[in-house]
Amino acid sequence: MKNLLSVTVIISQTNYRYDTISVVAMLLESGATSIMQDESKHNIRFLLPIDKPLSEIEAALGRLHVETISIEIDNSAPVDESNDYDFIAIGSGSASFAAAIRAREAGLSVAIIEKDVVGGTCVNVGCIPSKALLRASEQIQEKRLSSNGAFRVQFEINQMIKNKDELVNSLRRSKYLDLAKDYGFDIIYGHASFVAKDKIEVGDRVLGAKYFLIATGASPYIPPIPGLFSTSYLTSTTALNTKSIPNRLCIVGAGSIGLELGQLFMNLGSQVTFIEAGEQIAPQEEAEISAILKDTLISQGATIYTSAQITRVNAKGSSRSIELTSQMDKVTIAFDKILIATTRKPNTNRLGLEKAGVEVTKDGAIVVNHLLQTTNPQIYSAGDVIGGPQFVYVAAYEGALAVDNCVLASNRSLDLTALPRVTFTNPPISGVGLRESEAKILGLDTITTILPLDQIPRSLVNGQTHGAIKLVADKSTRKLLGANIISEGAGDVIQAASLAIKYNISIDDLASSFHPYLTMAESLKLACQSFTKDVTKLSCCAS
């Protein structure tokens, strides 16, 4: 127990849309702990050391343009630091919020613990900001290409970042912060660490709960490349805030993150070099789809090295270079900036997991069973921290599933069989289900088809025929097992394939169903028809 003041700041309703992040940062710097915002009562509650003058807090709030009605002290006696909830989620991304909503719907008292900014990776430093910048860069590239070199396209990177930040702040408010008020759960700011199997410490406060969810996400992993730390490298997080466009950019890693960021900087005028340790870029896609993407990126000006091993990074004065071997050849590449986009590591450090009896893998991912239960039966885990597919929609699904299993005893198993994926390159690529090689490993007898885009009417109309759709089906049952697409609209088309896999729809059913003419959706029907027919010999919409 420590001598703390329990303080409540009542905020004017006319001034309630203040900058939450700035206020929380100020309070943390002032020594406040256990910060909780209750939007339904228009107040902020926190614990403050007894020797900290309240006048300093009031003055700091004024500098942040926060109009206060009153600052109330509940008591100056030692504060009871126990505060029990039915359900506590650590982390404030999509997994935690989906879990909190489901738990509140079940009537539980809920708290979310966040040590930094509410919203997690997707809204703050992932999907939303990257796609906002990517779309802006695509518009710039479209204008550049349409001019056919007749004029120079200019853009203001600072304005692009400002627009991105405004969108992020808006969505963080509407899709996260406002929901705490709507559903009635607490957000407590501070670092959480387990001190027992059923208790966590947040600042000077110990909280107990019947159930916990660990959903702390993942962060960029920086490989131990000799010489790398002597350079000012970028990550997938810092790249989204850079205000200078490098002339020459090396990207280490050509998975989804590296490819999307590479496309972004290519659109903005950088000469981009991709360095991939695997045999192909987009390693989780079919080889044929990866090859088409590689050809497309090279035609757009990219340089690509696969089966590449970096030996060192050199930095001398303003000169930067990277040494590597690729396909047995030694190569030295000069660059202005290097971006690390390899893998992401689970955020499990300093959580006190050993005190809670929660085991992790050698890579730091939390070990869970098919119900998302950890080795402590009271604690569940979801999202990137468990080391599975790192998609925001997977995290949200897992967060809700964890609550269904721990609170409602649903006994529902995690099922990612029909999980679709999209990489937002130009053109985008998408996939779902099994690749041909994966089906063979499982001993399945399969049939496959690859339909080029020049056989799809919508692609012909658009003048975008460099791409394909590949399907994998079970030879005996003719059920669709997998799909991989590279085309405009690939991310939209893949959803129909995902549903077909989930509900055991055959390629014959898909081939005989209605698909609107002159849409990319028709590509799935045509690809299914190509298993048994030469679609080049069919009239429009013929079966």
Q: Is 253 annotated as a binding residue?
A: yes
Phi, psi of 276 (to 5 degrees): -120, 130
Q: Is 213 annotated as a binding residue?
A: no
Q: Is 254 annotated as a binding residue?
A: yes
Q: Is 259 annotated as a binding residue?
A: yes
Q: Six-digit token pair at 515? A: 């698909």
Q: Is 245 annotated as a binding residue?
A: no
Q: What is the DSSP string of 34-93?
A: EEEEEGGGTEEEEEEETTS-HHHHHHHHHHTT--EEEEEE--SSPP--B--EEEEEES-S
260 CB burial (10 A radius; 0-12, 13-18, 19+): buried
Alpha helices by DSSP H, listed for 70-217, are 94-105, 120-125, 127-147, 157-172, 178-183
For Cα atoms 111, 115, 118, give the angle at the middle one, nearest 5 degrees: 70
Cα atoms found within 13 Å of the Cα of residue 127, Cβ hemisphere only:
16
Q: Is 413 annotated as a binding residue?
A: no
Residue 13 CA to residue 11 CA, distance in Å, equals 6
Question: In sequence order, which residues have a C-beta less than 8 Å from that of residue 527 and are 6 or more positions away?
Answer: 449, 451, 469, 470, 471, 483
Q: How far is CA 479 from CA 235, 383, 442, 527, in A?
A: 41, 30, 15, 14
Closest CA relative to residue 310, chosen from 280, 335, 330, 334: 330
Q: Is 198 annotated as a binding residue?
A: no
274 DSSP β-pair partners: 251, 304
Q: Is 276 annotated as a binding residue?
A: yes
Residue 269 CA to residue 245 CA, distance in Å, equals 8
Let me know: does 235 contact 115? Beta carbons within 8 Å: no
Closest CA relative to residue 17, chosen from 65, 70, 74, 82: 65
3-state secondary structure of 454: helix
Q: What is the DSSP string of 271-339?
A: EEEEE-SSSSSSTTS-HHHHHHHHHHHHHTT-EEE-SEEEEEEEEETTEEEEEEEETTEEEEEE-SEEE
Residue 83 CA to residue 34 CA, distance in Å, equals 11
Q: Six-digit token pair at 526? A: 């045509």
Q: Is 256 annotated as a binding residue?
A: yes
Residue 305 CA to residue 277 CA, distance in Å, equals 8
Instruction: List the binding residues.
Output: 131, 253-260, 276, 384
Instruction: List the binding residues for FAD.
Output: 131, 384
Instruction: List the binding residues for NAD(+).
Output: 253-260, 276
